[in-house]
Amino acid sequence: MRYRTESDILGKINVPSDAYYGAETERAKQNFPISGLVEMPEIIKSYAIIKRSAAKANMKLGVLDTRRGGAIVSACDEIIDGKFADQFIVDVYQAGAGTSINMNLNEVIANRAIEILGGKKGNYKIVHPNDHVNMSQSTNDTFHMNIHLSSYIAINEYLIPALSKLEGALKKKSIEFKNALKIGRTHLQDAVPITFGEEFSGYVGAISAVKKRLVEAQKLLLESPMGGTAIGTGENTPKGYKEEVIRQINAYTKINFHKSSYMFKTMSTQLEEMALSDALYDTAVALDKIANDLRLMGSGPIAGFADLILPPVQPGSSIMPGKINPSMMEMMNMVCFQVMGNCSIIDRCADYGQLELNIYMVLIAHELMFSIKILSNGINAFTKRAILGLKINFKRVNANLNRDMSLATALSPYIGYAKAAHVARRAFIEDKSVKDVAIEMHILDKKLLDKILDPKNFAIKKSRRK
């Protein structure tokens, strides 16, 4: 491999001659061979939007010449389009609050801008990573902004659409299953009848609720720390920069960010990120509950609940022929577990920010984006391969309904709780229906028993009470 020699405060270092990154990125590569995980494309794209907007603002305010500024903007546009993705090589587990990633962006943008202007990589007299690309900026404010921007965009583009599709699919099932009765269950024991439609309407409500929480958390991300530079002081920014750089970001993204009212708060705490993390945690809990319920209701097909017939998506065993597992529910469970763990990491990172700056922003950014992406992808697969193909096992469900002891609940207003409990217990011991035992005991007129102990009429009565 051929190299070029670059210099920084620590001295000279060799950088691959064809690399668009420079000395500081090379040092980070050598210092942090930790996980092989680099920042996700969405975070790099978001950072390039920020760099582009800063260059536009600096040109507008007259502190950056249009020749250099135009080349910087062009380089950023290429990165936003996905070019040079292999040049962003810094490991997620690194030092500081994102300085290495910021410099990785600065160096790649600078070297590409140098090429655009006819120079050779490494000739920073033409475009300098710090003096020109990083002008009016610090890692402190730009990486905070990167978290806000990348998370906001990812929620809009990935997570909300995925949840909306799931919500629509569940609503469709709640309508399809509107009149389909089943035994209700509490404590994993038989309870009064419920319709599948009612049960699925609960899932619709849960998804609707977490969507609202995500949207509320999104609003908090609209507070921009741009222009705060070093720890919120605004050092080295021209007059009007804070307002102009936000205008440029908003013009490009069509999002309405606004200047932080408390810049030092925005720099030193991660309250907005924690609010988003909480909403993601709530989303994972809601999804995990739905996946668990469907896994239980689809258990069997002989010895389980077998209320539902789950769509078969793949063989379930390498040794037991014909076995089909609830694979999509298990996948959704694991995604939710991962997100819950990620949220715990975010809380820990936020808690350990010290004094004027949190040094764990890179990990916060990674865990937020990772959570948003796997939730979105998991939900899309879950909706398509699990929810849309769900069917009711009417043979099993109806057989269970006829033997449902909890129907004795309907006897309580007529004969009292204690006597109704005696009927239910006898029905269980003798393996008979509640109605058969009630008839044998001559408790009520048969015609009345037919009415009040019919599961269908029971559900209709519940509906009228609403």
What is the CB neighbour count within 10 angstroms for residue 189?
10
Question: Do residues 66 and 129 both lie within one domain?
Answer: yes
Closest CA to 80 of 56, 38, 52: 52
Residue 317 lies in a domain: yes
Do 283 and 419 lie in one domain? The reply is no
Higher pLDDT, 317 or 178: 178
Assess whether 192 and 306 both reside in one domain: yes
Residue 136 annotated to the active site: no
Burial class, 384, CB count within 10 angstroms (exposed 0-12 / middle 13-18 / buried 19+): middle
Residues 89 and 217 in one domain: no
| pLDDT tens figures, 135-157 | 999 999 999 999 999 999 999 99
pLDDT in the model for residue 428: 84
Position 247 in a domain: no
Domain of 105 in residue numbering reads as 3-135
- Same domain for 299 and 367, yes or no, is yes
Q: Is the peptide bond before 301 cis (omega within 30 degrees of 0)?
A: yes
Considering the candidates 35, 187, 318, 442, report the single residue annotated as catalytic: 187
- Terminal Cα-to-Cα distance of the chain (whole angstroms): 76
Query: What per-residue confidence (pLDDT) applies to 47?
Result: 98
For residue 463, the model assigns a pLDDT of 47
pLDDT of residue 372: 98
Instruction: Tell me the pLDDT tens digit for each residue of 300-336.
Output: 999 999 999 999 999 988 889 989 999 999 999 999 9
One domain for residues 215 and 176 = yes
Cβ-Cβ contacts under 8 Å for 452 (sequence gap 6 or more) = 410, 411, 414, 444, 458
Residue 435 has pLDDT above 90, yes or no: no
Q: How far apart are CA 375 and CA 69, in angstroms?
A: 38
Angle, alpha carbons 264-265-268 (nearest 5°):
80
Cα torsion through 362, 367, 368, 369, rounded to 10: 90
- pLDDT: is 406 or 97 the higher one? 97
CB–CB of 384/161 below 8 Å? no
pLDDT tens digit string along 210-258? 999 999 999 999 999 999 988 889 899 999 999 999 999 999 999 999 9
Specify whether 431 is located in the same domain as 319: no
Residue 187 annotated in active site: yes
Give the CATH number of the domain where residue 69 resides: 1.10.275.10
Distance CA 114, CA 413 (A): 86
Q: Which of 7, 17, 317, 412 is catalytic?
A: 317
What are the backbone angles phi and psi of residue 274, rounded to the nearest 5°?
-70, -35
114-118, 273-277, 302-306, 422-426: segment of lowest average pLDDT: 422-426
Asked if 445 and 306 sit in the same domain, the reply is no
Which tens digit of pLDDT belongs to each residue from 4-45?
Answer: 999 999 999 999 999 999 999 999 999 999 999 999 999 999
Judge if 15 and 84 occupy the same domain.
yes
142: in domain: no
Report how far residue 197's alpha carbon sits from residue 400's, in angstroms, rounded to the nearest whole number. 18
pLDDT tier at 459, thresholds 50, 70, 90: low
Q: If we measure between CA atoms, which residue out of 97, 33, 76 comes closest to residue 228?
A: 97
- Is residue 256 one of the residues assigned to a domain? no
Residue 464 has pLDDT above 60, yes or no: no
Total domains in the fold of the chain? 3
- CATH number of residue 167's parent domain: 1.20.200.10
The pTM score is 0.91
Task: Give me the chain's average pLDDT, please.
Answer: 93
Distance (Å, whole) CA 278 – CA 213: 9
| Beta bridge partner(s), residue 416 | none
Q: How far apart are CA 178 and CA 420, in angstroms?
A: 29
At 399 the pLDDT is 85
> What's the average model confidence in pLDDT over 265-275?
88
